[in-house]
Amino acid sequence: MRIFVDTNVLFPFSVMDFFLALTEDAVHEVIWTEVLLGEWERVIVRENRRSPRSAAAVTAAIRTFFPENQVKEEAYLHLVPHMHGKDVDDRYHAAAAVAAGAEALVTWNVQDFPPLPLAGHGVRVLDPDTYLCELHEMMPDEIRETFLRMVAEKSSPPISPEDMAGRLARAGVSRFVKEMRERV
């Protein structure tokens, strides 16, 4: 499943980390644009959640490890004027999702992306909790494996599965965490 993840889903970092780990494990495919990464860097630094150097390192890692997931501007710029929404960046995100053939645009601000125009292009607008619940319903074993791999890789400091689940729940995906706990 190809998804476009709105900037607001990429922090707190626990959610971003989980979405990217799912991409690493080929559970889904997070697609990105330079507009998305630039917006993320600006917002994360402005809100004092990361230093400019740290934010740049994260976006550089995404470019390095997921180059095939980039949607180039020439693939979607012509669609931007046809997208709906008040925020210019949101229209760029919607256009990239459409151009890349994403099945979902995942955002905490569902109301900012009018669902009907995007549905006409096969793109559903979902919040992260709903998206992860649906993905977990389809691929519970794969989700569990990625989750446990992430826990095992955390060594400085090490964390338990319960700690990781708590981080994700506090980050806003509490229904997903509840469903995952019930199946583990």
- List pLDDT tens digits, range 31-54: 999 999 999 999 999 988 899 999
Domain 2-127: give its CATH architecture: 3-Layer(aba) Sandwich (3.40)
CA atoms of 56 and 3, how far apart (whole Å): 23
**Residue 127 parent element (H or E):** none
Predicted TM-score (pTM) of the model is 0.94
- pLDDT tier, 184 (very low <50, low <70, confident <90, very high otherwise): low
Q: Give the start-to-end residue ranges of the domains of the chain.
A: 2-127, 133-183
CA atoms of 99 and 131, how far apart (whole Å): 20
CA atoms of 123 and 120, how far apart (whole Å): 7
- List pLDDT tens digits, range 141-173: 999 999 999 999 998 899 999 999 999 999 999
Of the candidates 26, 27, 38, 28, the residue with the CA atom closest to the CA atom of residue 10: 38
* Cα 30 to the center of its chain, rounded Å: 6
CA atoms of 48 and 35, how far apart (whole Å): 20
Predicted pLDDT at 182: 84
Q: With contact defined as beta carbons under 8 Å apart, do 48 and 173 qualify?
A: no
Predicted pLDDT at 12: 80
